[in-house]
Copies of this chain bind each other. A is one copy, B any other.
Amino acid sequence: MKPTIAIEYCPKCGWMLRAAYMAQELLTTFTDEISGVLLKPSETGGTYIITINEVQVFDRKEMGRFPEIKEVKQLVRDIVSPEKNLGHSDKSS
């Protein structure tokens, strides 16, 4: 069973576009490796949480910032496809 990624975002904060953008990046990079990406409007303000199979891998409130897209791809890669090379998204900065 391939993993499902969820992005829970605060719609009142205007973060749907950001969440949808990240979803599309992940769907493009991991097309064959993931079951899908779930976009989930949160009822709690300020939420931006990414989970893989319901395990949290990024929480904006904990980190005090949004993740970079490169970072999101690395987090997902490390769990769903550890041997995959992400090309320029694999450089550290």
Contacts and interface: CB of A to CB of B under 8 A. Distances in A.
A67 interface: no
A4 B6 CA distance: 12
A interface majority secondary structure = mixed
Contacts of A20: 20, 23-24, 27
A28 interface: yes
A52 interface: no
Nearest to A6: B36
Interface stretch (A37-45, A54-62, A68-76, A83-91): A37-45
Contact of A40 (B16, B24, B32, B35): B35
11 contacts: A4-B38, A6-B36, A11-B27, A20-B20, A20-B23, A23-B23, A23-B39, A36-B39, A36-B40, A37-B39, A38-B39
